[in-house]
Amino acid sequence: MRITLVGTGYVGLVAAVCFAKLGHEVIAVDREPVIRGLKENKLTVWEPRLEPELADVYVKGLLRFETDLARASSDTDALMIAVGTPTRSDGHTNLGHVHEVLSHLMQAGTCPPLVIIKSTVPVGTCDELEATLLAAGLRTEVAFNPEFLRQGSAFKDFMEPDRIVFGCKTPQAESLLRQLYEGIVAPVHVCDRRSAELIKYASNAFLAMKISFANMMSDVCEGYGADIRHVMSGVGADQRIGPEFLSAGVGYGGSCFSKDLQSLLTTGKLIGSSLPILEAVAKVNDQRIPRMIAKLISLWGNPLGKRLCVLGISFKPNTNDVRDAPFLTLLAQCERHGIEVQAFDPVVRQVGATAAQVMDSPYASAAQADAVMIMTEWPQFAELDWPYLLHLMRRPYVLDGRNLLPSQIISQIVEVDGAMYMPVGRSMEC
């Protein structure tokens, strides 16, 4: 198939490379600076396997880059849209980027027979987009094909998904979608477009709910001297529940969970339904960073002028994405309490216009710090020379916001004079 894919961010670029690997001829479209960066091999997206996989399909001529949407979509079988759909300040989803793509198609007066929405969009959006195109004289079907990949394991998730969802109206659209995914072995779930749009939101809401549930239970564990790791591994062993997304910590972040939860809450309000479970999920998550700050204050007394070493900036390991990262919330709250932040991340080298100092090494970020907090579960943080790191600090206090460190490292930590190790949802060790 010949396919044009608009939007080369975390989802679009991986999808473009994977469709090319499946043997399709892919044209990826984005704005001029993004495409220039891609052509010069300066990627803004950091994802394991991305560079070599991209280079491979690019040199084979299976993937090319374009800025002119009309040219790129003039002779293709399908157009896939994977642009961002952030939340507006009023809680509604901002479909501005999606509408901009449609405007270009309508201006050009041409459109492939199938437009596939890959971006996460509220229920009813595909119906509206199709009606807009039709009103402009473009007879095309709009289908919905949500993406479930996780940043950090995007290639594996894309090529070996748990399921593929097609929300479409006609057998012709379903047949084109099946052709596009030929080569990927996974159960295919075909349904109407509105149900498919809700599958994506309900999935993310459910995953966020699992995380908030584990975090809520971690507070109970802390209060009663139990261990959240035992509790959740016992709970997750039940096949009806499953072990994933049950780790307690500093809360979920990233570009999807908060925004999709917010969007679903707004969708509910439009029909007079408050979706109280989702409100509680967001509320529990919002309490995580204040709880970490309270732990710091319990150790320090007065936080003013203290220095915090933060390990991990990205919202999860194996990505450079800082959108909605818990780190940003932590940073804002540290500023409010007069706490200075020195941070380190294996791939994030700067964090916009923030007051955080991003250091070149974990040891540099620990210099003269009054505590260290693990914010992201990068596995390499468990391999640091912890006694040495603590030796560089003013106070040897460790807050493990991800329960990352194994017991042999914790034993080394607590041997250091005056040291304290504070995990989440289990007893502190000192």
Closest alpha carbon to 119 in 281, 267, 8, 278? 8
Residue span 8-27 as binding mask against ligand NAD, x where in contact by CB under 6 A, dash where not: xxxxx---------------
Find the shortest distance in angstroms from Cβ 310 to ligand NAD. Answer: 23
Q: CA 65, CA 43: separation in Å to the nearest integer?
A: 13
CB of 412 to ligand NAD, least distance (A): 36
Q: Closest CB to ligand NAD among 200 and 306?
A: 200
Site for ligand NAD in 253-292 (CB under 6 A): 255-256
* Least distance to ligand NAD, CB of residue 282, Å: 17
Of residues 20, 30, 141, 198, which one binds ligand NAD by CB under 6 A?
Answer: 30
Q: Nearest-CA neighbor of 35 among 75, 68, 1, 83? A: 68
Residues whose CB falls within 8 Å of the CB of residue 135, separated by 6 or more in sequence, listed in order: none
DSSP 189-211: EEE-HHHHHHHHHHHHHHHHHHH
Q: Does 85 sit near ligand NAD (CB under 6 A)?
A: yes
- 224-238: burial string, b at 16+ Cβ within 10 Å, e else: eebbbbebbeebbee
Q: Considering the rule CB under 6 A, would residue 31 count as an interface residue with ligand NAD?
A: yes
Under the criterion CB under 6 A, does residue 167 sit at the interface with ligand NAD?
no
Helix (H) or strand (E) holding 110: none
Cα 103 from Cα 82, distance rounded (Å):
16
Q: How far apart are CA 272 and CA 287, in angstroms?
A: 27
CB 340 within 8 A of CB 359: no
Q: Give the shortest CB-86-to-ligand NAD separation in angstroms.
A: 8
Which pair of tokens denotes residue 327? Answer: 């780190």
Instruction: Rank residues 97 and 395 by Cβ distance to ligand NAD and give the closer one.
Output: 97
Could you say which residues in the range 105-134 bind ligand NAD, by CB under 6 A? Answer: 119-120
Restricted to residues 237-256, the positions that interact with ligand NAD (CB under 6 A) are 255-256
Residue 96 to residue 103: CA distance in whole angstroms: 10
Q: Which amino acid is at 112?
A: P
Give the separation between CA 337 and CA 326, rounded to whole angstroms.
Answer: 17
Tell me the number of residues near ligand NAD by CB under 6 A. Answer: 25
Residue from 16, 20, 54, 101 binding ligand NAD (CB under 6 A): 101
C-beta of 221 vs 278, nearer to ligand NAD: 278
Q: Nearest distance from residue 33's CB to ligand NAD, in Å?
A: 8
- CB 237, min distance to ligand NAD, A: 28
Q: Which stretch binds ligand NAD (CB under 6 A): 93-101, 170-178, 359-367, 413-421?
A: 93-101
Of 47, 130, 141, 147, which lies in the binding site for ligand NAD, with binding defined by CB under 6 A? 147
Tokens representing 396 are 């040897």
Q: What is the dihedral of CA 231, 232, 235, 237, to 10 degrees?
A: -120
DSSP string covering 148-172:
---TTSHHHHHHS-S-EEEE-SSHH
Positions in 365-404 near ligand NAD (CB under 6 A): none
Residue 29 near ligand NAD by CB under 6 A: yes
Whole-angstrom distance, CA of residue 206 vs CA of residue 202: 6
Considering the complex, what minimum distance in angstroms separates the CB of residue 330 from ligand NAD? 21
Tell me if 312 contacts ligand NAD by CB under 6 A: no
**Per-position DSSP letters for 77-106, written without gaps between them:** SEEEE-----B-TTSSB--HHHHHHHHHHH
35-74 footprint of ligand NAD as x/- string (CB under 6 A): ----------------------------------------
- What is the rounded distance in angstroms from the CA atom of residue 193 to the CA atom of residue 197? 6
Residue 10 beta carbon to ligand NAD: minimum distance, rounded to whole angstroms? 4
3-state secondary structure of 341: strand
Does 100 engage in binding with ligand NAD (CB under 6 A)?
yes
Is residue 256 annotated as part of the catalytic site, yes or no? yes
Q: Which two tokens stand for residue 183?
A: 């080569």
Of 18, 256, 309, 334, which one is the catalytic site residue?
A: 256
If the CB atoms of residues 6 and 207 are measured against ligand NAD, the closer one turns out to be 6
Nearest CB to ligand NAD, comparing residues 27 and 356: 27
Q: Which residues contact ligand NAD by CB under 6 A?
A: 6-12, 29-31, 34, 82-85, 97, 100-101, 119-120, 147, 149, 151, 255-256
Active site residues: 256
